[in-house]
Amino acid sequence: MKRTVPLMITMVGGLVLIIQYFIPHQVSVSVFNYYTSWAPIVSGFALILGVGSITRLHYHKIRIRDRNWPYSLATLIPMYLMPVFALLLPPSIWGGNQAPGLFDFMYTRIQVPIQSTMFSMLAFYIASAAFRAFRAKSALATLLLIAAVIVMLGQVPIGDLAGRWLPNLGQWILRYPNLAAKRAIELGVGFGVLATCLKIIFGVERGWLGGAGE
C-alpha cells in the first residue's frame, strides 16, 4: 500500500498532464491549475520537516559539545531570532511604523551583503579555474586555450585592433562548433528527461519514493 498508492497517483497524474498538454480547453486549464496548486502546500509542510532537521542536528552538536559546536549556535540563534523580529517585534524599534524594522535591518545589512560576498568570490574562483583549464598540457588543451583566447579577445574592444577577422573568428567559433556541441548535449538531455519521466510515470524509476520505492 505504501508503494502502490503513490505509484498510482503518479501514473494517473503524469498521464493526465501529458494529455492536458494537447488540450487547450478551459476545462483542461482548470485541471492543470488545480493539480499544480498542490505543490506550494506540500512545500509548506516539508519546510517544517526541514527546520526540524536542522534544529535536531545542531542541538545534538551543542549538547555533546561536538567539534566546532559554536558554529551550531551561530546557526540556530539567527534562525529562530529572524522570525521573532519579523512577527513579534514592532516594525521598528527606532521610529514607528515608517522606519525599517529590525528584521529589515538584519536582512538588508547583514544577510544580503554576506550573500553578495559569497557570489563575488566567484570572480576569483573563475580566475583560478581558468588558469587550471588553460594550461597547455596536451594538443587538445592547447586547442582549447587558443579557442578561448580568440573568443575572449573577440568579445572586447581591444580585439578590433588586430582587425575585424578576430571578432569574426570568435563569433564563428561560438556560432558553429560551440553551438553544435551545445545542441548535441541539449538533445541528449531532452531525451534523457523524456525517458526518465516515462520511467517515473510507469513506475520503473522509484528513487523519488525514498524507502518506499524498493
Partner 1 sequence: MRRTSHFLPVALAALLCAASAGAQVTTSPGAPAVDSLAPSPGPVAAVPGSAAAPAALPEVRPAQVLSVTDFPNDAGDHLQVAFQPSPDSSLVLAYQLERRTPGATDGSEDWAVVAILAAGEATSVVDGYDPDYPVQPGVHYDYRVDVMTVDGGHLEGPSFESAVVARGEWYNTDKTRVLVACSIFMALIFYYFSRARRGASLYLRPIAGIDAIDEAIGRATEMGKPILYVPGLSDISDVATIASLTILGRVARKVAEYQTPLMVPNRDPIVYTVAEESVKQAYLEAGRPDTYDPNSVFFVTDSQFAYVAAVNGLMTREKPATNFYLGMFWAESLLLAETGSLSGAIQIAGTDAITQLPFFITTCDYTLIGEELYAASAYLGREPKQVGAVKGQDACKGLVMFLFTAGIVLSIADLILGTVGDPSRSLIMKLANLVTVGALE
Helices (H), 64-164: 69-87, 102-106, 112-133, 139-155
> Given the rule CB under 8 A, which residues bind partner 1?
21-29, 39, 42-43, 46-51, 53-54, 56-57, 60, 67-68, 71, 111, 114-115, 118-119, 121-122, 125-126, 128-130, 132-133, 182, 185-200, 204-205, 207-214
197: part of which helix (H) or strand (E)? helix 179-201
Least distance from C-beta 205 to partner 1, angstroms?
Answer: 7
* Helix pair angle (4-21, 179-201), 10° resolution: 130
Q: d(Cα 64, Cα 189) in Å, to the nearest integer?
A: 46
Least distance from C-beta 168 to partner 1, angstroms?
Answer: 23
- Residue (93 or 111) nearer to partner 1, CB: 111
Least distance from C-beta 192 to partner 1, angstroms?
Answer: 3
Rounded to the nearest 10°, the torsion over CA 40, 45, 47, 48 is 160
Least distance from C-beta 153 to partner 1, angstroms?
Answer: 18
Length of the chain: 214
- Residue (153 or 200) nearer to partner 1, CB: 200
Least distance from C-beta 148 to partner 1, angstroms?
Answer: 10
Grid coordinates of 31: 485541471
Grid coordinates of 54: 536542522
SS3 189: helix
